[in-house]
Structure 1
């Protein structure tokens, strides 16, 4: 009887305990982000999650894979490629998918060399074709970085020479610094933002282009596939906030014009931007 009484009391106590509360609903944003800008976007997303009590999922990779993912899934809230080429590629798959877009900063290409530049690379574009350098560049068929690199080298009529002198193409920016650091290559062309990622500054050095080359503007866009367009627009606005500007700057991406929201992007691959920040 004593044992039975104790068991009954335990049952009553366990039934009287309140159940664990159901987890609070958190809206989710899905952001497709090319590799050259993923590090600052990740930091900004952490700030955004805490501020707006939501979840941000980042899909990152090269622009070819990202645009295919968006097209096939028909899901997602924002798209942030390294250059405007990404928008042209995505629009070719889905003409009306791009909504409001925001200029968030300017990135630039740099040469990546081993620490202390042991081969004394001089920064001249023509020197990239010299056989003394083991060159690696990104693939122009898969990444914005590769396409931009190809344009620069073709403008100097040395792209074919460089291609003939390299062992392989990197599918995107992620393999470039790793190849320099482990001794597989001695010269690469990459975004400055890649140099500021994690511990890369301790592993390699950068050399500026001589003569200087045009920088690349970065835009973020809300997608028509967004299931949370209001929250997506809020994230777009946060990208031009002082917090975001400081994070971008710490990753080598500087804001050089006002962050105006524009309602469309040119469908041509060679997009250009005039002084009042509208794409023409």
Structure 2
């Protein structure tokens, strides 16, 4: 299934690459983890108007996108749901400059109104009375982050045994709550801010030590054919205007904004 998704992505990439060569307007290709798609789309629209260019966005699970970049050798910018991909890059050499733009953090997500009266505790993922769904570590950053925090709290095996099935990414984790296929998921906090989700789901916020708060970093790809324009977008995304957009979608809070310029990665 994962291989099929990557093949489809690569076919789309090849189609995009052909269209770029046929046009004079500068175009950029972004790989964006699903959770961050909303702020990136908003910033991309503003950037297109300012620089008279066209931005194509491919969204998906962070791992699937990373593998697609490796296989296709096409694209300009990559934003995964975790900074861990910059460490993997030490071997692959795919990622160049980076710009910090916010944080991804975990939260328990339930149906709006919390009808099951679920507590804001990771222990609830082991509650056999609840239908629990977790993310798949092999397809998206949410699965990796979930595994990491559950292992750190000695809950991974119990939670996995109590899981009905694994969802490939953050979007599908939200979907199972909305479609009443699950009572509880561990998902990215920011997904509950989306307009299409906020009337149906709600987050039970975890303390920072349990939320696996991860830095979000835009990465310039070594495969980019327009590095100058790509760097301009990276600077725009981390500017005051960009920060406001990421704040609006739950990736920054007031404390994060004050300390923004001190964050290293």
Interval of TM-score (by shorter of Structure 1 and Structure 2): 0.7 to 0.9
Structure 1 residues 90-129: aligned runs within 5 Å: 90-92=89-91, 94=92, 96-129=93-126
Deviation (angstroms), 1:40: 0.7
Separation in structure 1 between the aligned mates of residue 146 and residue 102 of structure 2, nearest angstrom: 19
Where do 5+ consecutive residues of structure 1 fail to align?
A: 1-22, 260-275
The whole-number CA distance in structure 2 between the counterparts of 1:67 and 1:150 is 19
Mapping for residues 123-202 of structure 1, pairs under 5 Å: 123-202=120-199
How far apart in 1 are the matches of 2:23 and 2:32? 27
The equivalent position to 2:228 in structure 1, one of 230, 237, 242, is 230
Across the two proteins, how many residue pairs are aligned to each other?
239
- Counterpart of 1:251 in structure 2 is 249
Shift in Å, 1:142: 1.6
Partners of 2:132 and 2:207 lie apart in 1 by 17
Task: Tell me the TM-score normalized by structure 1.
Answer: 0.80
Correspondence 1:194-213 to 2 at 5 A: 194-209=191-206, 212-213=209-210
Going from structure 1 to structure 2, the CA distance change for 1:220 and 1:102 (only over 3 Å counts) comes to: same
Q: Are 1:65 and 2:67 counterparts?
A: no
**Does the C-alpha gap of structure 1 residues 278 and 208 become closer, same or farther in structure 2, counting only changes over 3 Å?**
closer
Shift of 1:24: 8.1
1:100 and 1:177 map into 2 onto residues whose CA distance is 32
- State the SS of the aligned residue for 1:201: coil
Contact 1:125 1:210 (8 Å CA) reproduced: no
Q: Which moved more, 1:197-206 or 1:39-48?
A: 197-206
**Distance across 2 between alignment mates of 1:83 and 1:53:** 30
Question: Per-residue deviation at 1:90?
Answer: 4.7
Please list the CA deviations of residues 92-137 of structure 1 after superposition, one character each: whole Å capped at 9, or x if unmatched: 4x2x222111111112111111121111111122222010111111
Question: Given that residues 106 and 216 in structure 1 are in contact (C-alpha distance below 8 angstroms), is that contact kept between their aligned partners in structure 2?
Answer: yes
CA 1:211 to 1:240, structure 2 compared with 1: closer, same or farther past 3 Å?
closer
* Structure 2 unaligned regions, length at least 5: 1-21
TM-score by length of 2: 0.85
Tell me how far 1:85 sits from its aligned partner.
2.0
Which structure: greater helix fraction?
A: 2
How has the CA–CA distance of structure 1 residues 278 and 211 changed in structure 2, closer, same or farther, with 3 Å as cutoff? closer
Counterpart for residue 278 of structure 1: 264
